[in-house]
Amino acid sequence: MANTYLTKTSPTAGNRTKGTISVWVKRSGLGSYQNIYVDFYSTDNFAGVRFNNSDTLGVFSYGGGSAQLDINTTRVFRDTNAWYHIVVAWDTTDGTASDRIKIYINGERETSFSGSPTYPTSSQQIMFGIGGSYPIVIGRRGTDNAEYFDGSMSHFHRVDNQALAPTVFGSTDSTTGEWKITASPSITYTGSSDYNFFILKDGNSVTDQSGQSNNLTVGGGTLTKTEDNPSNV
């Protein structure tokens, strides 16, 4: 997927204060900026989730060139043999600033961040879900053909209006103690925006499997099916 990305142009706007991204990823290349998900309009107006060039994970939102949200883990993710389950949930209406954005890896919440994290202000309308001329992009930075994700993705969920826990999408195996995928999570979708979708479940389909009919398209490159998946590494 190093030069492949998915997109949806001119999406219907969603709730800009609350939402969730859940995805399983397996990295191939390290040491470079690699975007997983982006709402992108310009270099001053965008939001996304990415691996940084230090192999940490970053979540960010910028409006008019100013940071609304900018948080980067101290933990690095350099295991190219394993699938990582990433959940990013945000709720800017939360009364505690540090709880307005939550990052979970394999079911565990990340609590150690580099520098001085920027958290959204109370009830701030961040750039996630802005819609309109801000396209949804999965697998690269935005519209400038850069910072592609290098690896595999599976079970990509984008849920509008809800900040969901990782236990919606996975669980701890009672025998091995490992975090395992819930292949068909139970989600009651709310709202009618294009920010409710579930893709990359079966083979290389980009058809929305959430029942919301919010399909994406392959914007460039070619999706390649692999039998290596979160249930069978």
Predicted confidence (pLDDT) per residue in 35-47, tens digit:
999 999 999 999 9
Task: Kindly tell me the burial class for residue 102, based on how many C-beta atoms sit within 10 Å of its own C-beta (0-12, 13-18, 19 or more).
Answer: buried
- Ranges 1-15, 81-95, 219-233: which has the least confidence: 219-233
**pLDDT greater than 90 at residue 15:** yes
> How far apart, in whole angstroms, are the C-alpha atoms of residue 163 and residue 13?
17
- CA separation, residue 65 to residues 14, 23, 62, 74, 81 (Å): 21, 27, 6, 24, 37
Q: What is the pLDDT of residue 137?
A: 97
* Residue among 153, 35, 165, 159 nearest 87 (CA): 165
Q: What is the pLDDT of residue 203?
A: 67
User: For residue 203, what are its two tokens?
Assistant: 């083979």
> How far apart, in whole angstroms, are the C-alpha atoms of residue 84 and residue 36?
12
> How far apart, in whole angstroms, are the C-alpha atoms of residue 94 and residue 19?
13
